[in-house]
Amino acid sequence: MGNVLADRFWGMARRLFYDDESAVSTMEMDSEDMIKAVTEAKQEWLTAKSYFSNVTDPDLIDHAIFSVEAAERKYMYLLKRAKRRGVTLNQPYFYLEHV
């Protein structure tokens, strides 16, 4: 049972910290990719919060809670990584994508 839990944990960690499509870690992202990852993570978090607010099936409440917590941690992690690298959202990419 311990190995199953460990495998699930590391699987989730890999999905949180690596881009699923290209498997590039946050350490290898350029500023534009980092901004995009932070923006997408924030949207995932807001979507998870909305899902939690609207879920009515008691069997899905635990799933909704887990989704919010996972999305929030991913967003906070990426935000912290971006700040450490000196990446800010007032770069041309952010404004061009969201105008």
List the domain range (segments joined by +) for residue 87: 2-97
Domain count, the chain: 1
Provide the β-strand partners of residue 25.
Answer: 18
pLDDT of residue 17: 59
Task: Decide if pLDDT at 95 tops 60.
Answer: no
Give residue-wise pLDDT tens across range 38-93.
999 999 999 999 999 999 998 899 999 999 999 999 999 998 998 888 887 764 54
Give residue-wise pLDDT tens across range 3-41.
665 566 666 666 665 544 433 455 667 888 888 999 999
Greatest alpha-carbon span in the chain = 50
